[in-house]
Amino acid sequence: MSLNVETVVTGPFQENSYILWYSGSSDAVLIDPGDDPQLIIHAIEDQNLDPIGIINTHAHLDHIGAVYPLKEKYQISFYLHENEKLILDMYEQTCEMFGIIPKEKPEVDIWFTDEGKIIIGEFHFNTLNTPGHTPGGTCLELENHIFVGDTLFRGSVGRTDLPGGDWSTLESSLVHIIQSFNHNKIIHSGHGPDTTLLIELEKNPFLIELCDKQNL
């Protein structure tokens, strides 16, 4: 079975929400449903899919805005790293900071901690702890795809000036990513276009400088 990945760009921050499913199956997993739940629902219905779980790379307001309505509609579990409790608890405060009206904050059903496998039906994710942008930032690897949230972008890296962010921790996480993943796999970021580590190690000024500093 081949893995399908559909990107739905949502909300004022143009956040990438992802729908994953295998050919020949209606089961789907949602990653970082950030806003505009009806857009995501339309994409789900267009493919005749049945969501079975939601998993997030982190809990910033632009990544969790559609989690509650989708949880309610499909009666599915929400997975999040336990170190994101701080970020989730600050949801209303962060919305106020950005002038955003808060939506219903979702309850987390399954908190995960250690790196390893998370199995949701037929979806076997490998997780990598990548704090820095947020304390519980997580990369999710499935088949030839890596979902990195806001840790890495095409030509850039995640910001660390929001509560819970830390630049030196982010740098360590970027080294962890470089050393852990196949450089040819597709990188899906929280915003902007897809890329690969191969491309970023060649063209991303932040990674080029980091590799020089770390002698990678």
CATH of the domain at 136: 3.60.15.10
Q: Please tell me the predicted confidence (pLDDT) of residue 120.
A: 98
pLDDT score of 216 more than 90: no
What sign results for the dihedral spanned by CA atoms 143, 16, 133, 107? Answer: negative
Average pLDDT for 73-102: 96
Three-state SS at 126: strand
Rg from Cα positions in the chain: 16
Average pLDDT for 40-49: 98
* Confidence band, pLDDT 50/70/90 cuts, at residue 206: very high
Average pLDDT for 26-44: 98
pLDDT score of 15 more than 90: yes
Domain that holds residue 121: 3-214
Q: Please tell me the predicted confidence (pLDDT) of residue 114.
A: 86
Distances (CA, A) of 121 to 26, 49, 142, 180: 11, 14, 13, 25
Across-strand partners of 28? 21, 51
Residue 31: CB partners within 8 Å, gap ≥ 6? 17, 18, 19, 20, 54, 55, 56, 57, 140, 147
Average pLDDT for 24-52: 98
Domain count, the chain: 1
Residue 13, Cβ neighbours under 10 Å: how many? 19
Torsion of CA 32, 143, 167, 15, to 10 degrees: -30
Average model confidence (pLDDT) for the chain?
97
Average pLDDT for 68-94: 97
Across-strand partners of 20? 5, 29
Q: Are 95 and 162 in contact (CB under 8 A)?
A: no
Q: Please tell me the predicted confidence (pLDDT) of residue 7.
A: 98
Across-strand partners of 147? 140, 188
